[in-house]
């Protein structure tokens, strides 16, 4: 029943779900067009000028509440538009889809991007490279490439100092050489490959003379020395320390001095200490020996091995109490009589010995207070 003040409009109607009017049921022309409604489906129909029934409106085409910033996409003829399900993220972009709705996804550099990234945007402005290319900036909006060059070349800067370039090394020798007062001289040229001749002088670390066939080296001056080798000779020097110095103390072991002149020399004193009933004398640590007898204890001294030319002195002190005696093995004394040790408290007897290689010969100076 129409509301007061309104005139009702009646159309073809159907309450059967999915019912669609036939084209013969609707009229379309210059004088007007008929509509049909399916109030169960909520669809309004009309017939176009081609005689095809079309859906004019549908309650399904009215979108519900959309999510903020949602995108709406069409669903094709006769279908209502729909909202795109995803809003994407800050790192994705909308990709087209030839067979369906567009989708959000990350940018794929290999398939989504084309062209050349310019220098101003962090790129090189170059589209291709050859193996070994060097990239540098000269000017403009892109980098410049320098090819790899050839084997043996080196990288340098051009004459204008504006760009790098490859250069070929030029083979060269010594441009000039002099030796001053060293004693050496160039035997051929002074440039290119130089061969040195001459003898390095003592002031420059040399000997001042050249080696001769007889292997005799003689030098003069502040560093003068003479070395003569009459046959093949091996000389072994110590690996550490100093062989000998001109001043200071030196220790020579198992060396023979021929006809030396020795001034103000000192023999090494070897203190044996207090001896008991026997004592073996050794000369390893010195040839001036001191010893003190033990009270009331006679002592027998065993002599060292008799070596031709060897000699030593024994300074023997009597005991402070309980006077005693001492005897020596394998010693020949003057007149074949061994001295009697002074029997005075703390008396000193000095006994001297020398060997001919077979026996020891002894003498005594006694009773030193």
* pLDDT given at position 77: 66
Q: Contact 208/199 with Cβ under 8 angstroms?
A: yes
Share of the chain above pLDDT 70, in %: 78
In the predicted model, is pLDDT for residue 212 greater than 90? no
Residue 181's pLDDT band (boundaries 50, 70, 90)? low
- Round to whole Å and give the CA distance between 240 and 228: 25
Closest by CA to 299, choosing from 313, 280, 314, 284, is 280
How many other β-carbons are positioned within 10 Å of the β-carbon of residue 216?
Answer: 13
The answer to whether 153 and 142 have CB atoms below 8 angstroms apart is: no
CB-CB neighbours of 341 under 10 Å: 23
| Element spanning 156, H or E | strand 153-157
Average pLDDT, the chain: 82
Please give the pLDDT value at position 241.
67
Separation between Cα atoms, residue 43 and residue 20, nearest integer Å: 9
Encode pLDDT of 36-51 as tens digits: 999 898 888 999 988 9
- Rounded-to-integer distance, Cα 340 and Cα 364, Å: 10
Q: What is the pLDDT of residue 206?
A: 74
Q: What's the pLDDT at 308? A: 95
Task: Please compute the mean of the pLDDT values over residues 2-11 and round it to a whole number.
Answer: 74
How far apart (Å, rounded) are the C-alpha atoms in residues 353 and 281?
A: 12
> Which band of pLDDT confidence, cut at 50, 70 and 90, is reported for residue 231?
low
pLDDT tens readout for residues 237-271: 666 766 667 677 777 777 788 898 888 888 999 99
The CA distance from 95 to 84, in Å, is: 12
**CA nearest to 70, candidates 42, 101, 46:** 101
The per-residue pLDDT for 343 is 94
Give the Cα separation of 133 and 144 in Å (integer): 10
Q: Which CATH fold would you assign to the domain 269-368?
A: Jelly Rolls (2.60.120)
Let me know: does 72 contact 85? Beta carbons within 8 Å.
no
Secondary structure (DSSP) of 16-52: STT----GGG--EETTEE--EEETTTTEEEEE-TTS-
């Amino acid at each position: 029943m129409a509301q007061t003040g309104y005139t009702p409009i009646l159309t073809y109607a159907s309450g059967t779900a999915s019912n669609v009017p036939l084209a013969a049921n609707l009229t379309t022309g210059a004088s007007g067009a008929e509509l049909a409604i399916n109030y169960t489906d909520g669809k309004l129909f009309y017939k176009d000028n081609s005689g095809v029934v079309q859906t004019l409106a549908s309650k399904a085409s009215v979108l519900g509440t959309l999510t903020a910033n949602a995108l709406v996409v069409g669903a094709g003829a006769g279908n209502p538009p729909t909202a795109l399900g995803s809003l994407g993220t800050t790192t994705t972009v909308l990709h087209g889809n030839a067979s369906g709705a567009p989708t959000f996804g990350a940018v794929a550099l290999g398939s989504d991007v084309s062209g050349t990234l310019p220098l101003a945007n962090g790129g090189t402005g170059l589209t291709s490279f050859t193996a070994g290319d060097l990239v540098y900036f000269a000017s403009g909006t892109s980098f410049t490439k320098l090819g790899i060059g050839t084997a043996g070349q080196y990288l340098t800067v051009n004459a204008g100092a504006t760009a790098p370039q490859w250069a070929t090394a030029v083979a060269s020798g010594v441009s000039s050489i002099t030796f001053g007062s060293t004693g050496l001289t160039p035997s051929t040229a002074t440039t290119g490959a130089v061969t040195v001749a001459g003898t390095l002088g003592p002031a420059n670390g040399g000997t001042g003379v050249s080696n001769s066939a007889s292997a005799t080296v003689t030098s003069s001056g502040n560093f003068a020395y003479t070395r003569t080798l009459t046959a093949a000779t091996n000389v072994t020097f110590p690996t550490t320390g100093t062989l000998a110095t001109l001043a200071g103390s030196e220790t020579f072991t198992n060396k023979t001095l021929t006809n030396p002149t020795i001034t103000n020399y000192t023999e090494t004193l070897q203190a044996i200490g207090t001896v008991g009933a026997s004592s073996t004398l050794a000369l390893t640590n010195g040839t001036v020996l001191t010893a003190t007898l033990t009270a009331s204890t006679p002592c027998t001294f065993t002599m060292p091995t008799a070596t031709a030319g060897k000699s030593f002195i024994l300074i023997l002190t009597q005991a402070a109490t309980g006077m005693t005696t001492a005897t020596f093995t394998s010693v020949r004394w003057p007149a074949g009589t061994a001295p009697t040790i002074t029997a005075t408290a703390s008396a000193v007897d000095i006994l001297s010995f020398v060997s001919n290689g077979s026996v020891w010969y002894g003498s005594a100076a006694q009773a030193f207070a």
